[in-house]
Structure 1
């Protein structure tokens, strides 16, 4: 994914957080989905998650076999597909064409990377990440588990976000 696409995705995530007055760290992502006009359903037939248009809103389907942190990231990932690839509240023509389309969280396509970037930016906005990083850093030593705890994400997600933002070394 190129830098301009990454910037656009991060900007979109920030815009959604601002427009819907969503506080970070997000405490209950299920409440956010409801505010946005959707529902969450757990089904065993999906590997991780999926999103589909349902009437004027949407439905996110998640596997019940994920831990809480993975489920939160999966839901945010599906929100990425919703806004980026389905046009929900961002592109009326694209949204109108979404009948019978369902996005599954499978594989490693460009759209999957984009949805992952959205999820990370939505759960861990860059400015908030840097604020937390500065607060917990001890010189050049950063305990990413504390960042992960703050945002209620996995250590891997917090570490990857810091690296992609250029705040942490690969």
Structure 2
């Protein structure tokens, strides 16, 4: 579906607060048992358990949902493994917050295709979901303290980029 400004539709977004989104993301990882003893979340396993798959091609990062339990995360050919990991978590955020969410938790109608087209509330919510899924707050603080705080070591522990780890640390107020 192509959307022009005169045909603009409201991008669905969650009514949940960022704090509630954080709790929700961590709950999903626990419920699906995709966290190892070191706190690492296997997003590929989570994706498979939910009925999703990954396609790598020349399209933009996006999520295409056919129905609940049948969806595809699109990863560009030019991105890194760490970026792809965050993208999968981000697209799972859209899936849970903006597609599967009950009407009482969502503003706007559910859509079946989510493509990054800039910054908006829904994109920020998906990023909050991804950050909390991949880097749960309490575990992040422990790793940050143990790392001294060497952000490269923190990022390696969670298999995210150094910029993603820095943003998380700043958001949690432990890096100024």
The 3 A distance-change label for structure 1 pair 92 and 109 is: closer
* Number of residue pairs the alignment of both structures matches: 154
Q: Match for residue 37 of structure 1?
A: 51
1:135 aligns with 2:172: no
Matched-pair contact (CA < 8 Å) for 1:78–1:105: no
1:84 aligns with 2:91: no
Q: Deviations over 1:103-155 (max 9, x none)?
A: 01230111111111111111100011011012122xxxx21111001001110
Partners of 2:46 and 2:78 in 1: CA distance: 21
1:158 aligns with 2:170: no
Give the TM-score normalised by the residue count of structure 1: 0.83
Partners of 1:70 and 1:112 in 2: CA distance: 16
Matched-pair contact (CA < 8 Å) for 2:29–2:46: no
Q: Match for residue 174 of structure 2?
A: 167
Partners of 2:102 and 2:78 in 1: CA distance: 33
1:13 aligns with 2:25: yes
Deviates more, 1:158-167 or 1:36-45: 36-45
Give the unaligned 5+ runs of structure 1. Answer: none
1:76 Cα deviation (Å)?
0.7
Partners of 1:164 and 1:115 in 2: CA distance: 15
Q: Deviations over 1:9-39 (max 9, x none)?
A: 101101101111121312x422221012211
Q: Deviations over 1:34-55 (max 9, x none)?
A: 0122111112122xx1112224
Q: Which portions of structure 1, spanning 4 or more consecutive aligned residues, are displaced by more than 6 angstroms?
A: none
Which of 76, 79, 83 is the matching residue for 1:66? 79
| RMSD over equivalenced CA pairs, Å | 1.9
Give the unaligned 5+ runs of structure 2. Answer: 1-15
Q: Which structure ranks higher in relative contact order (CA pairs < 8 Å, sequence separation ≥ 6)?
A: 2
